[in-house]
């Protein structure tokens, strides 16, 4: 979290958020299906400028601190669990997969693949839109793609 928010001036954040999320320097372990699931859950258009999305998080965090400086740690954690932001979901969504690893990811058992497909809310889901980003990777989403969408 700190690494991302203190480096918002980096040129990596001039790209669409869907491309920035694949930058392992800032989002270690986030791959194609995870980025789609994270953005979908937050209803963030995949081709919104990364810096715009992330600066809003920085502003929200500063406003939250000013508004409620006396919140206890347990209340802060409860609020974050109930209303996770993009950076929190970059941890929580992969942890869902890790926690259910045997159930979801064992390719030798087709019922496990079915469980993984059922877990997916956006990626490869019928009815979702998809576009290729500038790296040739397909991003799955619902709604508008955002202002930096390829033509």
Q: What is the pLDDT of residues 68-125, one digit of tens each?
A: 667 776 766 666 666 899 999 999 999 988 887 666 656 666 566 777 888 899 999 9
The first and second tokens of residue 125, run together, are 């889901």
Q: What is the pLDDT of residue 114?
A: 76
Higher-confidence residue: 77 or 9? Answer: 9
Q: What is the pLDDT of residue 102?
A: 63
Confidence of residue 13 (pLDDT cuts 50, 70, 90): very high
Q: What is the pLDDT of residue 64?
A: 66
Q: What is the pLDDT of residue 99?
A: 81
Domains, the chain? 1-141 (1.10.8.50)
Q: What is the pLDDT of residue 127?
A: 96
Q: What is the pLDDT of residue 147?
A: 98
Question: Once rounded to an integer, what is the mean pLDDT over residues 118-135?
Answer: 95
| Tokens 């397909």, located at residue | 138
Q: What is the pLDDT of residue 73?
A: 67
Helix/strand/coil percentages in the chain, nearest 5: 55, 5, 40
For the stretch 14-44, pLDDT in tens is 999 999 999 999 999 999 999 999 999 999 9
Report DSSP state, residue 129.
Answer: E
Closest by Cα among 21, 22, 23 to 42: 21
- Contact in structure between 97 and 90 (CB atoms under 8 Å): no
| Tokens 């969504």, located at residue | 93
The first and second tokens of residue 106, run together, are 């064992």
The H or E element spanning position 98 is helix 86-99
Q: What is the pLDDT of residue 132?
A: 97
The first and second tokens of residue 68, run together, are 């409620």
Q: What is the pLDDT of residue 60?
A: 78
Q: What is the pLDDT of residue 107?
A: 60
């Amino acid at each position: 979290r700190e690494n991302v928010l203190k480096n918002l001036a980096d040129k990596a954040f001039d790209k669409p958020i869907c491309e920035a999320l694949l930058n392992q320097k800032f989002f270690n372990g986030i791959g194609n299906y995870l980025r789609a699931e994270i953005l979908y859950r937050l209803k963030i258009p995949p081709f919104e400028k990364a810096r715009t999305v992330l600066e809003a998080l920085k502003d929200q965090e500063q406003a939250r601190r000013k508004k409620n400086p006396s919140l206890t740690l347990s209340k802060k954690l409860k609020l974050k669990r109930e209303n996770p932001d993009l950076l929190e979901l970059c941890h929580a969504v992969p942890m869902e997969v890790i926690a259910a690893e045997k159930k979801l990811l064992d390719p030798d058992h087709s019922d496990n693949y079915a469980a993984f497909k059922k877990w997916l809310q956006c990626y490869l889901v019928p009815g979702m839109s998809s576009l290729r980003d500038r790296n040739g990777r397909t991003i799955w989403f619902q709604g508008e793609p955002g202002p930096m969408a390829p033509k």
